[in-house]
Every structure is written in C-alpha cells, then in structure tokens.
Structure 1
C-alpha cells in the first residue's frame, strides 16, 4: 500500500470533497482521483460514495480511515524520533570499562553528565580492556575506556590520561619511619606479593623483579583488583595496583613501597568504532568523556 495514497485518502475523507483535498495537497483533482482509484483497486473495494456535494465514506472506507489515522500517527512519531536522534541530544549508549577503572572514573563523570544531558541514557558494561575492545568491535559497546589499547583499523583511539601500576603497602603508622630502599627490597623478598593474575602489567613487573633478584617466594594471585587493594590495606603484603586504583576512596592509606622500584606505565584511552553513527547525542557523550578524562592528567604519585 502506497503511503502517499493513504495520506491522500485520509485528507479526502476529512475534507469530504475531492476538489478541496486536491487544493490542500497542491495537486490536480484528476491526479487525486487516479490515486484514490488505485488504492481502491489495490484493496478490492469502494472507499467513497460520490455525491453531488462531495464524497462520503463507505463502510470499508470508515475502517480504512481508522487504520490510516493510526498508521500516519506512527509514521509521524517515527520521523520525529529519527530527527531527534540526528538533531537533539537524545539516545541510549553503552559505556564499557574495567570495574576498577570505572570505580574512580565514573563517580566523578556520571552525575554531572546525566544532569546536563537528561535525555541521554547511559548503560555500563564491565570487563577487561581486551574484552571491552572486542565488545566495541562487535558493536555491543558504543564507547570504551581502555588501558594500553593497540591500534586497530576499525577503531578511533583518543588518549585521555595516564596511570602506572606500582608496588603498594599499607601506610606506616604515625611515628613510624619511612621505608628505605633496603627495607623495600626485604619486604618484597618476604612477600607475599599480591596481584591480579589477569593483568599483563603484573607479569611484566614480576619479570623485572625476577631480573633484579627481588621476586618473593610467596605469591598471592587474585582475580580482582579490589581484592588486591583490600588485602594490601589489611597489611598482608605488597600489592601491585594502578596508582589511581590505590588512591581512590582510601586517600593516604596506601603508599608506594619505594620510588626506586620498577613500575609499569599505563595509558587510558577512549575507544569507539570509526564507522559508528555520529548523532548529536553521541558527539555530546564523546566530548564529555574526553573533556573529563583529559582533565585527570598524569597519574598520581601516591
């Protein structure tokens, strides 16, 4: 069924006159008459009774008018929704990141963003950085906060801020001396060394410790950075943590074991597909993430 013909029919039924409907549509009356006849032929029915003063709907015409009103209303709503997505800050997006990264990034970002963009819906997707990258490529995630991402021809990568994976211990009590380099080496050798097993940075730092003959005999691999943080805060041993993860929510309670020890530099980027649909809302979200992320600057010294 031709949507244009349906609109012609609807206006003719409203005007109850072919000539009046033709004038409002800006077409000739013969053109309108041909369109109505084609619609009647398609449906196998007569839609109007022609009278001296105009036209009147038949019973089948009245049924079609009810449906035509619903159809044109749906089409108008669909057109408006599409226009809103293209020209207004309306949309729904999935933001992916590692839980530990999100724990210090999102509390500062989301309240202000959602307040200033109330018609943008933001959903969260958690996983490792490689998993987030894969989800972006699969179009399950729209934007990702990714650590140490690699270039990919289908991705846009915008550097945001820096961090570093380092060695941490519970902060000394008041009056206790600062940890010397010799004491730091001793603590490492004694262990346990607590780390998130899934992090590539952890393996690289353990390799460096081994090369410097500082690798402890006792290891405690964990599946989660928050558990590493909790155990380190409890004084169990030396924890390997990103500096920002160590700092958030526990200011001053964790300290770098010693600045002379090796650390692994991290670069956090905003990642999204190069062929993603660039609506006004998508641009607003991307710009807000970049602005907030770049405002974080370099990693904390802890």
Structure 2
C-alpha cells in the first residue's frame, strides 16, 4: 500500500466511478483500475462492489476510506507545513546571547528581524560563552553569539562585529585622565568582573596568564547594570563594550595601550541541520551589521 494507491482509492470512492475518477486525476482509466486491483490483492480484500453502471464500497472499503482520509489529510498538512517553513511562514529561532550583548546590542536587531519575519518565533537565552557553546553542541540551542577566539572545533562561525574591549572606570578615577591603560596599570587595580565562562572574563584571564599577573577581583557579577553601578562608586574598574557605556556620563572608558579586539561571531553546530528560519536569522544578522556604521540603542 502506498500513497498513490490511497489517492486513487479515495477518488474512486468519492466519485463512485472509475471513469470520473480518472478524469479528475487526469490519468487513463485502466491505470486506476489496475492500481485498485493491486491494492485489493495486497490486502487480500475486496474494496468495491462492482456493478454494471455504478460501484460502491464494501464494508472493508468503508473502513479503509476512514484511514485513507486521515493519512492523506495528515500528509497534506505535513507537505504544507514544510512548504511554509521553506517560505519562512513559520518556524523558531533559538539563540543564546550574553547579558551585555543581549541588553545593548541585540534588541534593535531582534526587533528588526521580527518585523521582517513576523511569523517566526524567537527564543533568546542568556548565558556565558562556555555554557552557550555546550548548549549548541547538545542541540538545546540552534545558535549563539560567541567570541571567535574561544570557539570549540565542533562549531561553525561567522564574524559579524569587531569591537575593542574598553577599560571602564569612574570619571573620578586616577586613570580617567589618560588616553589608554596599560596591562600593568589594569591589573594593579581592584577589578569588577563577569563570572568565569563569560567572554570578557575569559579575555581578562587569558591576558593575566599571558603577562604573569594575578587579578585582584573584588566583585563578580553577570549583571551589567550592577557592574556599572559598582564602578561608578569607585569600588573598582572593569571591562565593557562601547555601547554598554555610551550614555554613561559618570563613567570613562579607555582602550588598552595595546588594544584588545573582540571578534563577535554567530556560531552553530556544524554537524546539525540548520533550519531555513535559522539561516534567515544568520543572513539577517550579517546584513544588519554590514549595512550600518553603528548600532543605535533603543
């Protein structure tokens, strides 16, 4: 039994005629007759009472018609859903973003994407780079925003933004009058840092190992507003991206004397199928940054 046989059977049952069914299906009558005969032989059942002028279903045929209607209806629904997914009329994007990027860089991007594809659902998960990569590898996320420097081999990436990591301090801090901060000057200060697993913390830890410094981390939090509040009060300095401090009159952000650049990338599992909806998001993200000289916060 295959779907073509079921389609022919359903049409003959509705028309109560092999000839009318053949006309509606645009095929030769002998082809329908042969298909129904093979179906009956495979089931070892008679599905139609065949008269001189009319045919009608047997009891067994009536039972099969119920199943045929259900099967063909479900198949049509599945085919429609797949076509709509291909046409981006429905689908879901699950993306992981760090708290800083999610708060300051991505709101305009996500809203613009939603306006472009109103029928696609967006699920945004906040997390550190390490945890996001693990979730992508496990299939819990479709993609995530990471720093390309720390990407595991199982992920494919596309860089969409290059940003300098800035040293952020109170405007009253002794370093605030400088034009840049050396690595030694940075590590002499008490630091307000993200927890381990977040890309800013990973960069600072790597830098400390590189120059043999021991960071004095006086405060740890993944909440960007709290980091800025603590730094404003003069209890330490931190590292943030430019947009996170763009409108903060009480904060000063300076580049390192030897600039540290972060290549922000969208990452996905190279061994898993990437849906049309997710491909649309990646293309939209890359086009968004390529077409704008700056991202305006909401």
When normalised by structure 1's length, the TM-score is 0.78
CA deviation digits over 1:22-60, x for unaligned, max 9? 333344434323322332334443221112212011233
Equivalent residue for 1:253?
A: 250
Give the Cα–Cα distance (whole angstroms) in 2 for the partners of residues 20 and 244 of structure 1: 72
- The residue number in structure 2 matching 1:233 is 232
From 287, 291, 295, the equivalent of 2:283 is 287
Q: 1:52 matched to which residue of 2?
A: 52
SS of the residue aligned with 2:149? Answer: coil
1:91-130 matches, within 5 Å, as 91-130=91-130
Q: Secondary structure at the match of 1:46?
A: coil
> Do the aligned residues in 2 keep the contact of 1:231 with 1:237 (CA within 8 Å)?
yes
Task: Write the distance in 1 (CA, Å) between the matches of 2:248 and 2:227.
Answer: 16
Select 1:270's aligned residue among 261, 266, 269: 266
1:223 Cα offset (Å): 4.1
Q: Distance in 2 between matches of 1:66 and 1:189?
A: 75
1:67 maps to 67
Alignment pair present for 1:202 and 2:204: yes
Q: Partners of 1:141 and 1:116 in 2: how far apart? A: 22
Alignment size in residue pairs: 287
Q: Distance in 1 between matches of 2:236 and 2:257?
A: 16
* Deviation sequence 1:192-231 (CA, Å, 0-9, x none): 32222412222244457876xxx78x53141425243332
Aligned counterparts of 2:63 and 2:286: Cα–Cα separation in 1: 54
82-91 vs 271-280, greater mean Cα deviation: 271-280
Q: Aligned pair in 2 of structure 1 residues 165, 17: CA closer, same or farther (>3 Å)?
A: same
Describe the superposition over 1:62-111 as per-residue Cα deviations: whole angstroms up to 9, x where unpaired: 23222222221111111111122224453212112222221112211111
The answer as to whether partners of 2:166 and 2:256 remain within 8 angstroms in 1 is no
Q: Counterparts of 2:232 and 2:51 in 1: how far apart (Å)?
A: 90
* CA–CA separation in structure 2 for the residues paired with 1:11 and 1:67: 14
Q: 1:243 aligns with which of 241, 244, 256?
A: 241
CA contact (8 A) 2:92 2:122 kept: yes
Q: Identify the residue that residue 163 of structure 1 maps to in structure 2.
A: 163
Deviations 1:125-156 (CA, angstroms, capped at 9, x unpaired) = 33222333343344433232211335766544
| Residue equivalent to 1:37 | 37
Where 1:53 maps in the other structure, the secondary structure is coil
Distance 2:187 2:97 in 1: 33
Give the TM-score, by structure 2 length: 0.79
User: How far apart are 1:279 and its partner, in Å?
Assistant: 5.6
Q: Deviations over 1:140-179 (max 9, x none)?
A: 332322113357665443221122333222234xxx9994
